[in-house]
Amino acid sequence: AFLSYNMAVSGVFGHFYYNRLEMIFPQAIGGLRAVLAKLFVTQGVWVPFGWLPGYLFWTGSVQGRTFEQNVEKLRTDYHALLLGTWSTGGLVCIMMFRFIPIQHQVGFSALGHFVVTSMMSLMLSKERPVPFYKVRDVKCGQPVCDSIPDSANHIVSGPK
């Protein structure tokens, strides 16, 4: 689901978005001011109000969630995902706007979006893989787990 979102947003929209930013805040003239302006527009406006809600609704719809379920997902996970995006996105944007030529920013951004959406997909995934040390058998395609505790407290306290 996130691959299709990245193709649509980074591949199609990204070209126009970064060219427009460069037209409004030209790097050759603006220097650090242009970098910070682009950073503010991207991380302060586009990510919280466009990219992140779009990601949650797009991927939720592809996964079969209803509109109401997508709204609930946005309500419950939005702040954690936004902080996660900001934790790396700000530095990546500064480096991109300062050092990456405009003709390569879409590709650089697409790679960054791929990494961030992979991270968000893992954060949002409710089903975690069963650790290999707990699997003793597979029945009907599902692993059957041993009753190995995650800690050694059962040894200290003895059998119950």
**Average pLDDT estimate for 32-55:** 93
Taking the whole predicted model, whether its pTM rises above 0.85 is answered as: no
Q: Please check the confidence at residue 125 and state whether its pLDDT lies above 70.
A: no
**Average pLDDT estimate for 99-105:** 89
Q: Please check the confidence at residue 21 and state whether its pLDDT lies above 80.
A: yes
Q: Which letter does DSSP use for residue 127 in this model?
A: -
* Percent share of the chain, pLDDT over 70: 74
Confidence of residue 68 (pLDDT cuts 50, 70, 90): very high
**Helix 102-124 / helix 67-99 crossing angle, nearest 10 deg:** 140
Q: Please check the confidence at residue 119 and state whether its pLDDT lies above 90.
A: no
Q: What is the DSSP string of 59-125?
A: HHHHTT--HHHHHHHHHHHHHHHHHHHHHHHHHHHHHHHHHS-HHHHHHHHHHHHHHHHHHHHHHH-
Confidence of residue 50 (pLDDT cuts 50, 70, 90): very high
* Higher pLDDT pick, 22 / 10: 22
